[in-house]
Structure 1
Amino acid sequence: MARITYIEHGGTEHHVDVPNGLSVMDGAKRFTIPGIDGDCGGACACATCHVYVDPMWRDRLPPIEELEEAMLDFAFDVTADSRLSCQIKVDDSVDGLIVRTPARQY
């Protein structure tokens, strides 16, 4: 299990223990975190689970894969810290991860 901090665009923080094996998006949906829609259910096909990974975590996560990078073209306000939360798998290595939701999802 990993403690993930989800920070809404307006600044509200949610500290959630997400079970290993889920994705960061699954954790947000399970605990009804606003701002992460996940319309495709985690198939990396919609970009509605776009988040900003805290810069201190950017290089600690597995690198972005080609499909995820292509799907980010459909997200608003993409930055170097942008990831699709459906593609970040939860395990002990992401304990303490901080993600922020964008102002809007597509």
Structure 2
Amino acid sequence: MRDIPVRLREWISAGRQVGKRRDLMREGEAIYQTMGIQRSGDVFVAYYFEIPEALMAVEENALELMERFETLEAALAFLEKVSGSDVLDMTPQKRGKIFRVRTGDS
């Protein structure tokens, strides 16, 4: 993985949730994707959600993952692997949080 941008590391270290939302085409199918990372105590919680846009109303076939990692690098590598996209451009979201860290995830 490339070097983590300073501002991304600072946002996450300060406890801010960063993430991104995007639409993409995969094998001719429109897909909606969201992902994010937030520090919770001594761990980094990485969240990933993906669903075909045609099924958004019923949320069938949605892929939703939430994993805990000891390092920011491991959390970012996880999101990069499951999303297949660049994760170093994540920012704090203006439309609210992408996910909620569940009690006990700290």
TM-score range, shorter chain: under 0.3
Give the greater-gyration-radius structure (CA). 2
Q: What's the TM-score once normalised by structure 1's chain length?
A: 0.25
Greater percentage in strand: 2
Higher relative contact order (CA 8 A, sep 6+): 1
